[in-house]
Every structure is written in C-alpha cells, then in structure tokens.
Structure 1
Amino acid sequence: MLNSKQLQNYNDSLRSIYCWSAFPTRYTRRVNGRPLPTFSWDSDGNLLELFLKNGRTWFKPDGNVRTSLYGDGHTSLVSSVVFSPDGKILASASFDKTVKLWHLNGELLKTLNHPNFVSDVRFSPDGKLLASAGYDQIVRLWNLDGSQLKEFRGHQSAVNSVNFSPDGYLLASGSLDKTVKLWNLDGTLLKTFKLNDSSVDKVSFSPDGKVLAAVSSERVTLWNFDLDDLLVRSCYKIGDYLKTNSNVNESDRDLCDGIGTTK
C-alpha cells in the first residue's frame, strides 16, 4: 500500500515503473513485458509487486529486484494482486479463471478455481477471508484454505471490483451493469447504488467506513451511508444464522453481539 510519501506510475509506452517519494527522489525500473502489470504494496509500504502474464517480479522501493517467479504463475492476464494485512501472503486474480495464493518465498499455497475470468481479489481486514469478483456476475467469499463460503448473486453483468468495509462486516461490489451493491457477509443484499451513465471500475470505502466511492471511466462518485444502521439491520437478519448454523466458525458466532437487537 502506498503511504503519503510515495507515488507509483506505469508508463505503458516505455514499459517502465516510476516510484516517487515526497522528497526529490525518483526510482525508475524498466519492464520488458506485456500486458499492463498490476501493483501492490505491503502494509508497511516497503515492497512493490509487479505481475506480468508470464511471471512475477517483486521490487523494493529502491528499484532493486527481490524475487522473480516463473513456471507456477498465471497463464493469462493478471487483473489484480493484493497483500494480506500481515504482509505474509499474496493473492493474485487472473483471466485464466483462477485466484492464486502465494507465500513471499515464491511458494504457491493455493489455487482457487473459477468458472470465468476473475477481475479482482481482496483480503478481509483481519486477513482470514478472501473475496473475488468475476465475469460470471458473481462475488465469491473464500476461506484461505481454498474452501468457498458464499456466493453473492445480483449483478446483471461482469463484476469488476470488490472491497471489504474497514470493519470487515460488509462487502461492496462494482459492475459493468452500472451498479454498486452493498452486501452482508452472509450474502444478504443491503443496498444498490446506481450510476446512470457508466460501468463501475473500482469500489473503495473511506477509512472510517462511512463513505463509499465508485470509480468509472469519467468520474468518481461518493455515497454517504449510515454504517451503524446498516449493521443493526444486518444483524437483525442474520442473528439466528450466526448462532445456530453448523457451518459458522465458533469464533464468528458472536459477531453481532452488542450490535442492535438480534433475533
């Protein structure tokens, strides 16, 4: 993740990566590969991740290569890459219809198969769950052991982006169908935000979780919403499920304790 002192840019025509700091220093790294690479930073802002179709390269902020991996990588365009919150695992999504989990030593930990292209992947804030967005119009929730927990259905076209709220209770998804959908983790659709003139490329929450942003081709749209009210209504709906369903982890049964009134 970029901190306030760093900025990254990729020049497609020159196939170079530029890394700036707030101080008058710029590091440049030449990239010999296509298509457009995907970037990510660890939680301390110390490592830049570059994914290409034919392999993976990790750059330190000073421009030096840390690790390159070929062979076990993706076989098509890599659409998204993200570090786990503790910086120990990498997740990558690809048009080869997979999400791959990697150890930082280059070991492939898991491959999560999908029926269609995967456009985005995100870790939950506690690092225990993974969400993926697909061209089959479905958002999926996963355990890190590779087991699928839930499917979120409701979009009418490919889902481009998915993101967790900062507290980890909610998911937002953005789609080519020109909507952003807000979900509870049990799959309940809480709210749909509509864009009239453009598909949604990316979705993101503000750090306090009170503002949802959607990026489209020509603009950024912001929505304010009452997170506390959404949580109360969500817990009202899923209280029994959390307490009684045998598939719920014991550590998750008290997620709604103290949030409004559950039944």
Structure 2
Amino acid sequence: MLWNTADGSLIWENELDSEVECMVFSPDGQRVATSGEDYMVRMWDVATGELLAAWEHNSGLDGIAWSHDGTMITTGSAAGNAWLWDGNDYTMRAKLSVGSAKNSLQFTKDDAFLAVGGNIKVQDKKQDKTLYYGFASLINIQQRKVVREYKGMGASVKSLRISPDQQILATGALTIRCDYSILRPGVCCIP
C-alpha cells in the first residue's frame, strides 16, 4: 500500500498471496521494490501501482536495498545469499554467499560497500539441534568479498544501518534469554 504522507490518503494498493518482508524506493522515487516470503522481487511504478518487473529467488527474501546512485539493487535471502541486480534492467550482477540468512542490507553512501546482517545456522551435534548466531559483515562490491566481520551478536541480526558519515555501523539483533528454572514447560521470556 502506498499512502500520501500529507493527508493519509491511500494512493494505491496491490494484494499479494504472501507476506511482504521488505520494500525500498528507488533513489529517484519513481519505483518501489518489494520482496518477501513468496521468493519474488516485484518492481512497481510509484505513480500508478503498475507492476513493471518481477523475478524469483531460491528462497524467501528478508532484506532489500537500492544503491544511492540507482545502479544496483540488492536482495537478501533466507538461503544465505546477497544478490546484486542491475538497477535499470534487473539482470543479475552477482550472487554473494555470506551467513545463512540475510535480514538487512545497506549500501555505504559511496556505494563501494554493502553491509549485510542476519544469522549463521550451525548444527549442534551434541544437543541434536540447530543454533543461530547473529552476524554483520561489510562486503567490497567491486571485489565481491567480505572485508570486515562484526562479531558478538547473540542471535539473528534483524536490522543494520550505517551512519551518514560512514563511521558507525548499528545492528539490532534478537536476543532471547531464559531462566528455565522459573518457567512452566513451553514458556520462554524475551527481554
């Protein structure tokens, strides 16, 4: 749904069959890209709501970002990939594998780097369960490789942002702490 911020009126809406996880406007404000649980990226005309393009991924999509110069779109998948797409014809430029899921992505102001955050899935064979650890990484776009890793997140990074001066990276992660001795079976606390 697109809304007029001045008066709250609805500009247009398009109903999809699955959850929309993220959306981003093009730098010129003429298009809006959406992605979500149906594995699809959709490009919409802001003025009319017309579907301009759509393409499928290999898994659900949790993050999307547009480069500041408008030449690239990146999508983050639950399968652990960050995809780089051409911002005009939507052809794939690169597929980058980092972590197990990408929840949040942002280009640096100069579009030379891409910050990605999400989780890394690890199989704990002793406890016979899957554990998820949060991560954030900085990828050099030209070299297509991770140049910095940020550690210490207890669980999945759900959102990250780079400060306007590009000096600080902020991450927001899901952290679950439980004192199981005081809880009933099946009950957990989230601070």
Q: Tell me, what secondary structure is at the counterpart of 1:176?
A: strand
**How much identity, in percent, do the aligned residues show?**
28
Structure 2: 5+ residue stretches without partners: 121-133, 176-191
Conserved 8 A contact 2:63-2:76: yes
Per the alignment, residue 77 of structure 2 pairs with 134
- Distance in structure 1 (CA, Å) of the matches to 2:119 and 2:44: 29
Question: CA offsets per residue over residues 1-56 of structure 1, 9 Å max, x none?
Answer: xxxxxxxxxxxxxxxxxxxxxxxxxxxxxxxxxxxxxxxxxxxxxxxxxxxxxxxx
Per the alignment, residue 140 of structure 2 pairs with 184
Per the alignment, residue 207 of structure 1 pairs with 164
Cα deviation, residue 112, structure 1: 2.2
Per the alignment, residue 84 of structure 1 pairs with 26
Matches within 5 A, 1:1-263: 57-61=1-5, 62-70=7-15, 74-104=16-46, 105-144=48-87, 145-155=89-99, 157-177=100-120, 178-186=134-142, 187-217=144-174
Q: What is the TM-score normalised by the length of structure 1?
A: 0.58
Pick which of 190-199 and 80-89 moved more. Answer: 190-199
The root-mean-square deviation of aligned C-alpha atoms, in Å, is: 1.3
Higher RCO, Cα 8 Å, sep 6+: 2
Cα deviation, residue 69, structure 1: 2.8
Name the aligned partner's letter for residue 26 of structure 2.
S
- Distance in structure 1 (CA, Å) of the matches to 2:112 and 2:154: 29
Kindly report structure 1 stretches of 4+ aligned residues shifted beyond 6 Å.
none
- Distance in structure 2 (CA, Å) of the matches to 1:205 and 1:106: 30
* Higher fraction of helix: 1
Structure 1: 5+ residue stretches without partners: 1-56, 219-263
- Distance in structure 2 (CA, Å) of the matches to 1:117 and 1:68: 22
Q: What is the TM-score normalised by the length of structure 2?
A: 0.79
- Distance in structure 2 (CA, Å) of the matches to 1:154 and 1:94: 19
Name the aligned partner's letter for residue 174 of structure 2.
S
Conserved 8 A contact 1:161-1:174: yes
